[in-house]
């Protein structure tokens, strides 16, 4: 602003000294005033728009960062929830989660007047597998017996479970 004021003073003085007609000099100084005012306003508007653009860009960056953090928190919360509810070996519900799910399923069955079937599976000779072949083999037996293909193979058998349980929401007819 000081530079514009100095420039205006020099130009005004030069115009008044060089133009013999006082009216023409006054009109020229007025035009110079308007031109400098317009130029100053244009510079400030451009500067303000530039600052607003930077602020908007920073805001967008902060919003994206916050959304990314929220997504990570949600993802980790889901992972922690799964870890706290599922057996790490078989992937099936642990006892606490089973009890919670069973209570919900029982309440739903009562409310909707529907039957509820509980599937309980016992791995035959599990202790013998553990004692004879070792715990890693026992873990493999548990993991395999909890897998989906195993569930399909056991349709016609009497099913019991030692380490894990699942709730079936509706009664199924096994052939």
- Render pLDDT for 116-164 as a digit per residue (tens, 0 to 9): 777 676 767 778 888 888 888 888 887 777 665 555 544 433 333 333 3
> Is residue 165 packed enough to be buried (19+ CB in 10 Å), middle (13-18) or exposed (0-12)?
buried
**Greater confidence, 111 or 39?**
111
- Render pLDDT for 78-87 as a digit per residue (tens, 0 to 9): 999 888 888 8
**In a 3-state reduction of DSSP, which class is residue 94?**
coil
Among 28, 162, 107, 114, residue whose Cα is nearest residue 8: 28
Q: Give the integer Cα–Cα distance in Å for 165 and 80.
A: 21
Q: Give the integer Cα–Cα distance in Å for 148 and 74.
A: 28
Asked if residue 141 lies in contact with residue 123, where contact means CB atoms within 8 angstroms, the answer is: yes
Q: Show Cβ contacts of residue 1 under 8 Å, excluding neighbours closer than 6 positions.
A: 40
- Render pLDDT for 23-78 as a digit per residue (tens, 0 to 9): 888 888 888 888 888 878 888 888 899 999 999 999 999 999 999 999 999 999 99
Q: Show Cβ contacts of residue 137 under 8 Å, excluding neighbours closer than 6 positions.
A: 129, 130
pTM, whole model, 2 decimals? 0.43
Q: Give the integer Cα–Cα distance in Å for 164 and 155.
A: 17
């Amino acid at each position: 602003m000081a530079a514009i004021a100095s420039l205006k003073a020099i130009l005004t003085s030069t115009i008044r000294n060089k133009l013999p007609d006082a009216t023409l000099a006054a009109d020229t100084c007025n035009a110079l005033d308007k031109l400098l005012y317009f130029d100053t306003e244009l510079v400030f508007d451009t500067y303000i728009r530039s600052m607003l653009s930077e602020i908007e860009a920073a805001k967008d960056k902060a919003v994206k960062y916050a959304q990314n953090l929220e997504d990570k928190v949600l993802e980790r919360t889901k992972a922690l929830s799964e870890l706290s509810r599922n057996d790490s070996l078989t992937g099936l519900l642990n006892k606490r989660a089973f009890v919670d799910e069973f209570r919900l399923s029982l309440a739903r069955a009562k409310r909707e007047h529907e039957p509820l079937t509980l599937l309980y599976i016992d791995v035959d000779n599990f202790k013998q597998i553990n004692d004879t072949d070792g715990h890693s083999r026992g873990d493999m037996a548990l993991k395999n017996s909890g897998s989906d293909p195993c569930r399909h193979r056991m349709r016609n058998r009497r099913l019991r479970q030692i380490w894990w349980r699942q709730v079936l929401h509706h009664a199924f007819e096994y052939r």
